[in-house]
Amino acid sequence: MSETPGVPRLDPGERLSPQIARLIRELIMTGEATGHAKLRTEHLAARFGVSATPVREALMSLHGEGLVSFQPGRGFRVVPMTRQDLLDLYDAQAYFAGELTVRAATRLTDQDLETLHRMQADLIRALEQGDGQASETIEIGLHRVINMASDAPKLRWLLKSTTRYAPFRSWSRVAHWAAAAPEDHLLVLRALERRSPATAGAAMTAHIHNVADLLADHLAEQGVLSETGTEADGRMRRHLAGLPGRPGPDPGGNASHPG
């Protein structure tokens, strides 16, 4: 397939319909296709540079997942996603990511830990430089190192199966993520250094819940969610105060931060 400006590259070695389904999920998650919006097969086919057949197959697959609705004669429409829908997906992710971290805590090598600390430093540097793409790539890589060390392929598969339903990659655009991610990672890394499975798992679970709240606020502001998100600032402070190893809120109700 020849490349056309604006047309995403598709892997010729993979079936088209799963790739198209991923692209449509991303349209929904970025707010380009909002709740109740009609998804026209011919428009999507032209956009992705494919025939109508894999698009129809992809839409039927998404219909089975509950992301789109289908009525004969009326076609496909985006099913509105609520804040609770999103948080339910991230609850599942938090459980699997936390359990993978528990398993990894006693299996990570000293070299793995050095790699994680180097990636943490690279993440902070990328965030300070405003390099969103690099920071997102490093974030994914850091989690992958932990997950691969778990020696739990079925758990990794379950985690991956939950992430595909909410395929969001533009974390650098989410308010407060740049502050929350390094803070959360530091607590995870400290627990991993101590070889403390329970503490590391709890810190990872809290991290996923935190970024899920931030993402829900972001998507609500973008009109992706059918409910209005609440302000993230206070929730992030409460979250940080409640993480393992962090001091509690001060008498004024704000989380205290180490100097």
For the chain, the domains span 16-78, 83-242
The 10s digit of each residue's pLDDT in 60-106 is 999 998 889 999 989 999 988 889 988 999 999 999 999 999 999 99
pLDDT at 259 over 70: no
pLDDT at 47 over 70: yes
What is d(CA 240, CA 229) in angstroms, rounded to the nearest whole number? 19
Confidence at residue 66, expressed as pLDDT on a 0 to 100 scale: 86
What is d(CA 227, CA 210) in angstroms, rounded to the nearest whole number? 18
Confidence at residue 219, expressed as pLDDT on a 0 to 100 scale: 87
Residue 82 exposure: Cα atoms within 13 Å on the Cβ side: 3
Confidence at residue 227, expressed as pLDDT on a 0 to 100 scale: 60
Backbone angles phi, psi at 68, to 5 degrees: -130, 155
Of residues 85, 86, 101, 111, the one with CA closest to residue 144: 101
Are 18 and 58 a contacting pair, CB within 8 Å?
yes
The string over 171-192, giving b where at least 16 C-beta atoms fall within 10 Å of a residue's C-beta and e elsewhere, is bbebbbbbebbbbbbbbbbebb
For 2, other C-beta atoms within 10 Å of its C-beta total 5
The predicted model scores a pTM of: 0.76
Taking residues 109-132, report their average pLDDT. 96
Q: Locate 117 and state its tokens.
A: 């600390």
- Could you please state the CATH topology (level 3) that the domain comprising 83-242 is classified under: Four Helix Bundle (Hemerythrin (Met), subunit A) (1.20.120)
pLDDT at 151 over 50: yes
Q: Supply the CATH classification number for the domain 16-78.
A: 1.10.10.10
Q: What are the residues whose beta carbons fall under 8 Å from the beta carbon of 155, sequence distance 6 or more?
A: 96, 99, 100, 103
